[in-house]
């Protein structure tokens, strides 16, 4: 990791603060961080959650693993070091969205406690809502819409989470949805029940 440049002052140009932006958007910004195996349903839930929030008057932005890795993080592999750097960059981007008053919906495997704790530290624990999108490995493999598990089983993809790279289940997520027994609609509603009181705009918020 590159050393921080002592001559960079990231906050010096800020003229409109976060609370002003939240007041304008009439929402409290947070990061909704969804973690889970590939195929668990993170992206589907994220898209449905974004649509439901928009319908209720909230502005949200999805950050998704495929889109981020095909763009800003396209120079990273799936090694342990690069997985860590991938999430570090995503967390920094998420923090900028929060500072801009926007609700950030993140859909990333983020497979270890260490990685998730790092993201929470960067974003800030009060702005980080962890959602565990839980589905058994065999269910995720049966879905396998991208054919990734099949390739991993054949050895064509290395360091694939759940096959030859571990996934550590979150011990204390803010919300856990079980997509092997819940519909996407039910999962989204469960998440909404938790986050709506947090993002609701209140004039007396400091």
pLDDT tens, residue by residue, 27-42: 999 999 999 999 999 9
> 126-171 pLDDT, tens per residue?
999 999 999 999 999 999 878 899 998 988 988 889 898 889 999 9
User: pTM for the full model?
Assistant: 0.88
Residue 51's pLDDT is what? Answer: 98
Tell me which residue of 24, 25, 38, 45 sits closest to 194, measured CA to CA. 45
Please determine, for residue 68, whether its predicted confidence score (pLDDT) is greater than 70. yes
pLDDT averaged over every residue in the chain:
90
Residue 108's pLDDT is what? Answer: 95
Q: Which of 29, 94, 110, 165 is catalytic?
A: 110
Inside any domain, residue 20 = no
Q: Which sign, positive or negative, has the C-alpha torsion 119, 63, 93, 73?
A: positive
Distance CA 89, CA 86 (A): 5
> 175-198 pLDDT, tens per residue?
999 999 999 999 999 999 999 999
150 has catalytic annotation: no
Residue 202's pLDDT is what? Answer: 78
146: domain CATH number is 3.40.50.300
For the segment 73-91, the average pLDDT, to the nearest whole number, is 90
CB atoms within 10 A of CB 136: 13
Q: What are phi and psi of 176, to 5 degrees?
A: -125, 125
Inside any domain, residue 7 = no
Inside any domain, residue 10 = no
Number of domains in the chain: 1
DSSP E strand stretches across the chain: 31-35, 60-64, 103-107, 128-134, 175-178
> 90-115 pLDDT, tens per residue?
999 999 999 999 999 999 999 999 99
Tell me the pairing of strands 175-178 and 128-134. parallel
What is the domain range of residue 120? 29-197
Inside any domain, residue 53 = yes
Inside any domain, residue 12 = no
* Alpha carbon separation from 130 to 54, 79, 80, 133, 172 (Å, rounded): 21, 24, 21, 10, 9
Pick left, alpha or beta for residue 55 (phi over 0 → left; psi -120 to 50 → alpha; otherwise beta).
Answer: alpha
Inside any domain, residue 16 = no
Please determine, for residue 11, whether its predicted confidence score (pLDDT) is greater than 60. no
């Amino acid at each position: 990791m590159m050393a921080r440049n002592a001559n960079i002052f990231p906050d010096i140009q800020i003229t409109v603060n976060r609370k002003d932006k939240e007041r304008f958007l009439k929402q409290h910004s947070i990061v909704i961080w969804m973690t889970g195996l590939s195929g668990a349903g993170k992206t589907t839930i994220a898209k449905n959650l974004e649509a439901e929030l928009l319908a209720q008057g909230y502005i949200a932005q999805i950050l998704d693993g495929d889109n981020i890795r095909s763009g800003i993080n396209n120079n990273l592999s799936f090694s342990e070091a690069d997985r860590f750097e991938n999430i570090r960059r995503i967390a920094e981007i998420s923090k900028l969205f929060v500072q801009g008053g926007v609700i950030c919906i993140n859909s990333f495997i983020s497979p270890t406690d260490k990685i998730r704790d790092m993201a929470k530290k960067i974003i800030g624990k009060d702005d980080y809502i962890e959602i565990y999108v839980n589905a058994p490995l065999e269910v995720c493999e049966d879905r396998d819409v991208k054919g990734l598990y099949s390739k991993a089983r054949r050895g064509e993809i290395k360091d694939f989470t759940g096959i030859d790279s571990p996934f550590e289940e979150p011990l204390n997520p803010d919300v856990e949805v079980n997509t092997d027994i819940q519909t996407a609609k039910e999962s989204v509603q469960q998440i909404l029940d938790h986050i709506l009181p947090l993002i609701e705009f209140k004039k007396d918020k400091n």
